Amino acid sequence: MRKPIIAGNWKLHKTASEAVELVKALQRQAGPVDDAEIIVAPVFTALATVAAALEGSSIRLAAQNCYPEKTGAFTGEVSPFLLKDIGCSHVIIGHSERRQIFKEEDAFINRKLKAVLAEGLSPILCIGETLEEREAGRMFEVLSVQTKIGLDEIAASDMEKVVIAYEPVWAIGTGKTATNEQAQEAHAFIRGLLRETFGADISEKVRILYGGSVKPDNVDGLMAQPDVDGALVGGASLKAEDFGRIISFRRP
């Protein structure tokens, strides 16, 4: 049985003090959670402050991005080495906004994933198709390329630390959500790709999250799908009440 992950990607929101207020409210709202891993991903400037606020908590801390070098002349960048130093356990890699807005390519995302693993952290590798790609019948092709290049040269022994997040780009911030059946179809395909590359045992251990307008009113149906192992939540993670309800999802 794969332990679910509910991760909140706060994107470019919340000052350091606001971020602390949110995690404290979340702790009160959600209470102790034993049957799922809870992760929050604040902006870089709030990470250290939130890490201190989470000390002794079961909630884990993620960064939203990183640069694939440990140190050096890379003005404005932050490395997995530094993220580990301030208490991060996870790093989001290849989010659709990094791909679409900042033009990050699969090979560069693969470098980031390797750098995250080298520091003993867990990467959350985001993959997903645009509306145009889906309508052109290229969804499986896009998912295959992003998965295979993103995980290129990753050892099977490292895969238990890797989390994959399927995020249909057309459902992010649009209010649209993939149907339960669409989510399951994509997740099952991704797990099949993992099976081909790493074998059945590893593929059954890797957790695949759904990300795309996850909300309190749709999380139960999504989490009922056999290959949906959690959620990467955007806007709803900025409200403690909404995120708390998502954390306490109910399977039929």
Chain-wide mean pLDDT for the chain? 95
What is the domain partition of the chain in residue ranges? Answer: 5-247
Which of these is catalytic: 37, 104, 133, 167? 167
Residue 95 falls in the annotated catalytic set = yes
The whole-number average pLDDT for the span 9-25 is 98
Residue 21 falls in the annotated catalytic set = no
- 5-247, what's its fold? TIM Barrel (3.20.20)
pLDDT at site 33: 85
* Tens of pLDDT, residues 132-161: 899 899 999 999 999 999 999 999 999 999
Q: Is the pLDDT of residue 249 over 80?
A: yes
* C-alpha–C-alpha distance, residues 54 and 74, integer Å: 29
Cβ density class 54-84: b for 16+ within 10 Å, e for less: beeeebbbbbbbbbbeeeeeeeeebbbebbb
Span of 127-131, 148-152, 203-207, 247-251 with lowest mean pLDDT = 247-251
The whole-number average pLDDT for the span 206-232 is 96
For residue 16, what are its two tokens?
Answer: 């350091």
Q: How far is residue 201 CA from its own chain's centroid? A: 22
* Tens of pLDDT, residues 156-207: 999 999 999 999 988 777 777 789 999 999 999 999 999 999 999 999 999 9
* Tens of pLDDT, residues 90-118: 999 999 999 999 999 999 999 999 999 99
pLDDT at site 252: 56
* Tens of pLDDT, residues 26-73: 999 877 888 999 999 999 999 999 999 999 999 999 999 999 999 999
pLDDT at site 251: 63
pLDDT at site 163: 98
Q: Where are the alpha helices (DSSP H) in 54-105?
A: 80-85, 96-100
- pLDDT-derived band at 82, boundaries 50, 70, 90: very high
Which of these is catalytic: 95, 97, 104, 129? 95
For residue 221, what are its two tokens?
Answer: 């149906």
